[in-house]
A = this chain, B = another copy of it.
Amino acid sequence: VTAAPGVEKQVVRTAAALIIGSEILSGKVREANLFALGTTLRSLGILLNRAVVCPDDRDIISSEVRALANEHDVVFTSGGVGPTHDDVTVEGVAAALGLAVSVSPELAALLARVYGESLTETHLLMARIPTGALLMEGAQVRWPTVVAKNVWIMPGIPELFRMKLAVIREHLTGPEPFFSSELYLNAEEAEIKTLLDEVVMGHPRVEIGSYPKWADRRYKTLITFDGRDPACVELAKLEARDKFSRFVVSLS
């Protein structure tokens, strides 16, 4: 079953990511998809609440997916969807959701179109999906994304992962947008803590973050302001800018 984009977007309140790859835990490969996923979701007004990195192990994947899918509206997995022995994500997701694994006729037909006469049984391994999964289509994306219940199965290869973000954008949305603003200060965290605490206490609807920067000549601390109400975000920032006026740095 395929789902065309643009009909009506699903409203997502909580989301989690499962990064699948022994090579990431062993420090052979640098994780590269979490940042892109977090950025995309934030632009949609969706907060990524938790991310887990686990090895290429069917049973571990299944137990991680089960826990994440129970506790979040949507889960995104990354990795483990190729044709080799260490690609066990589809089996793991299916087991987590109590589904069998079967070959999708739609994906098999797509593979046949790509590979033509050279299509083999091995290629068809990439057409396996948790039985009953949706194939989410994107207007600009050739290959659909497999979505089993609330689990989006995304590829691990960063270039392909980033392409698939367009499909997420077409099908999902947060309850309302996020608004973000920031201040760069030429002061150490310890110098501003007392006044910053006052700003934090005075603006309960704004999430305020403080991030020291190491060995940067331009600034020492970044203060971020995030919330669903743009007026609240702006007020918190204005108050902070007022309190820290002698430290404020322009980075444009």
Contact = CB atoms under 8 A, between A and B. Distances in A.
Given A54-B50, A85-B208, A122 B190 contact: yes
A210 interface: yes
Contact of A35 (B31, B51, B197, B200): B31
Interface stretch (A40-48, A95-103, A137-145, A227-235): A40-48
- Chain A interface SS verdict (over half): mixed
A4 to B, nearest CB: 27
Contacts of A120: 190
A157 B214 CA distance: 7
Interface string A169-209: 00000000000100000000111111011001000000111
Interface string A25-59: 11111110011111111100001111111111000
Given A23-B224, A31-B35, A86 B210 contact: yes
Contacts of A49: 25, 55
Interface in A79-125: 82-87, 120, 122-123, 125
B34 A209 contact: no
Contact of A23 (B24, B86, B209): B209
A56 B214 contact: no
A191 B120 CA distance: 9
A27 B40 contact: yes
Contact of A39 (B27, B200, B210): B27
A22 interface: yes
Nearest to A50: B54
Residue from A22, A83, A224 with most neighbouring chain B CB atoms (10 Å): A83
Contacts of A158: 214
9 nearest A-B residue pairs (beta carbon): A27-B38, A27-B39, A51-B53, A84-B210, A25-B48, A122-B193, A122-B190, A30-B35, A159-B214
